[in-house]
Structure 1
């Protein structure tokens, strides 16, 4: 309770709608309900009480009239019954030789009807209000006069009609507002979908700015940002293609010159250095190139995993994988294949066996690669994703490349809106790499 009093707005916030549409509708509905409540209260306080008094006075006046006439001419009771039933909507009964032995019940004292009867009837009286009827009894000279009238005569229909009218018009107003609000929010939803697709490396060719001026500005800013990013990516790819060509040309000349030289221990060492430089250059360019300009396409993930396993660098290492039914995903197939191959190659490089499994969930597909190697210390999980980082601290190609495999793999995962999560394999003792891709 103390926590609620200290943070009342936080407690209320938990029950508020989360969407812009819901909050906008609440902003319209809250003052409308407040105005309705105030109007109903004012109407009830000023109008309902006056109407009830007037209706009670009418009933009391009719009862007083019949009672006074009976007191004046007591012998003609049938005449009064006829007048009361025909003209005054009162059913009248005469009970001879009786006296009133009880007063008005406490629950009905000082009500509008009691006050009206008290002011107009001078004979002793009592009354009770049943579910459908009001029964009023007055004492006359030689008995009792009992009057029965419908209870609805004491109730005004105007109050209920007022409530129905206000509620109906408010509901109609909210429905019309909801339609207009939905149309205003729709462009924002489309923008959110386009931004999410762009974050996952997918295109939204039919997206265009629409809606209000502010939403159009936001949409146009998103399109401008998207165009700048794509232009920068294109420029980077084209530049790297030129750099690749410029660097490969001298390496090719060096290979040719070494091939024409007599074979010796020196030339053999130089050839290994040139080959290592070529592989390092290819690794650098692959990392810098990233996903390139590849378009997304619907891809069979099982087939992609099998291709990555088949193309691994260490065919002598057994890779266990049992395909299961998986959804078709819109991905950049070649980039994702390269990501899987990097993870499988990394596992095969340090382990004797590799296990690949998939775990489809409602919101994402998880592909898990495990090995039985030495694993990675938990405090190094974040560092191994850094470009050129290696646990052995070397740059020897024979011991595992230049340290770009996991960096490239995670960049590709990020370009699909996913991620790679490292942990220790409980089943096999090595490293467990989980590639998570949202649908």
Structure 2
């Protein structure tokens, strides 16, 4: 409550529509409701008041006329009664034994009818308004005359027409506006879906610019950006393929020359350095090839994980995995995803004796957890290990740690499909890698 008083506009945002379609309709509805409210106020406060006053004046004038006629000629009661029924719409009765003792209902005191009866009738009276009739009693020649007329005579006939017209036109134009706004928002929704699919590395062949001019320009800019990114990635891959060819040739010549030399200590050291260089070049090229053109397709994530696990059960190390058959198929790049998961499992098996692999569905994503019982990684290094060519010096063995590209390649592959990889401490004592993939 205190926050709402201090920040009224921020608190109001919680109740406003979140989508563009909803906000556009709100922009249309708000002024329409305001205009209708002002119109209704003017109508009911001015027109309705004036009309009701005129109708009340007519009723009071007719009652006063009939009472005056009876007062001047009491013997003509039946004639006056006939005129009241046929010409003025009143049912008229003579109550000679009745006295005006009952007070008027407090609800109708100071009403328009009460005011007009005081002005026109100028004799004792009382009246009652029921659901269907208006009953007016007045004293004439020490007798009581009762006048009954339908209540609808006091209600303006334009009121229902006004309400029906205002409500009907508002609903109709809101319906038309909703259809047009939906058609205007639809291209934006398609653009958002295309951008989301592009971010997840999926294709969207049916997308094309459509809608308003501004939306078409945004869509065209998005398609141009997509083409530029693909062209840049292709150029990088081609450049690295050329670098691979250029580097492998001299490295091969160096290996041949070293093999023909006497195998003393210096030569053996050079052979080791050349092998390290060759391994680093291959690792760098593997990292660059992470931007694969493999098409996404629907796969059984349980089967994919089982295939990755089957190729890594060796050297007496255990991998614990229980498939979750309730999970649906997932749209992924199977070979690239298997490579990323394989890199994570290789790290766990290299530094631990057992792996625990689990699956779960969480808020529109599939979460794959890979845990080991190894020495783990210090928390401040969890992000650093994803940097290309970064190797740990203390918590991981540098002689078997490769060139520091395994986790970089894995995260690159997963992120290109709209997912991510996060590290945390495992309950098994080692490291836990959590892979999140969109469904």
Q: Answer whether TM exceeds 0.5 for this pair.
A: yes
Assess if the C-alpha contact under 8 Å between 2:137 and 2:145 holds in 1: yes
Deviation at 1:56, TM superposition (A): 0.9
Name the residue aligned to 1:131.
Answer: 131
* Equivalent residues, number: 438
Name the residue aligned to 2:300.
Answer: 300
The whole-number CA distance in structure 2 between the counterparts of 1:158 and 1:341 is 79
Q: Secondary structure at the match of 1:137?
A: strand
Name the residue aligned to 2:405.
Answer: 404
Deviation at 1:409, TM superposition (A): 1.0
Name the residue aligned to 2:168.
Answer: 168
Name the residue aligned to 2:38.
Answer: 38
CA pair 278-341 structure 1, distance change in 2 beyond 3 A: same
Deviations 1:360-400 (A, max 9, x none): 23410011100011111212111111222222169987422
Name the residue aligned to 2:198.
Answer: 198
Assess if the C-alpha contact under 8 Å between 1:98 and 1:142 holds in 2: no
Deviation at 1:406, TM superposition (A): 1.0
Name the residue aligned to 1:111.
Answer: 111
Deviation at 1:123, TM superposition (A): 2.2
TM-score of the superposed pair, with normalisation by structure 1 = 0.94
The whole-number CA distance in structure 2 between the counterparts of 1:35 and 1:193 is 37
- 1:413 aligned to 2:414? yes
Assess if the C-alpha contact under 8 Å between 2:386 and 2:408 holds in 1: yes
Deviation at 1:199, TM superposition (A): 0.5
CA pair 262-396 structure 1, distance change in 2 beyond 3 A: farther
Bigger Cα displacement from structure 2, 391-400 vs 85-94: 391-400
Name the residue aligned to 2:51.
Answer: 51
Name the residue aligned to 2:227.
Answer: 227
The whole-number CA distance in structure 2 between the counterparts of 1:72 and 1:249 is 134
Question: Cα RMSD over matched residues?
Answer: 2.2
Q: Secondary structure at the match of 1:399?
A: coil
TM-score of the superposed pair, with normalisation by structure 2 = 0.94
1:190-339 correspondence to structure 2 within 5 Å: 190-259=190-259, 269-312=269-312, 315-325=315-325, 326-339=327-340
CA pair 395-365 structure 1, distance change in 2 beyond 3 A: closer
Deviation at 1:423, TM superposition (A): 0.7
Deviation at 1:13, TM superposition (A): 1.0
Q: Which runs of 5+ in 1 are unaligned?
A: none
Q: Which runs of 5+ in 2 are unaligned?
A: none
- 1:92 aligned to 2:84? no
Deviation at 1:266, TM superposition (A): 5.8
Assess if the C-alpha contact under 8 Å between 1:385 and 1:407 holds in 2: yes
Deviations 1:15-73 (A, max 9, x none): 11011111111111111111111111112222111111121122112211221121122
Deviations 1:343-363 (A, max 9, x none): 000100110011111112341
The whole-number CA distance in structure 1 between the counterparts of 2:91 and 2:396 is 111
Deviation at 1:288, TM superposition (A): 2.3
- 1:425 aligned to 2:426? yes
CA pair 387-223 structure 1, distance change in 2 beyond 3 A: same
The whole-number CA distance in structure 2 between the counterparts of 1:229 and 1:250 is 32
The whole-number CA distance in structure 1 between the counterparts of 2:3 and 2:295 is 53
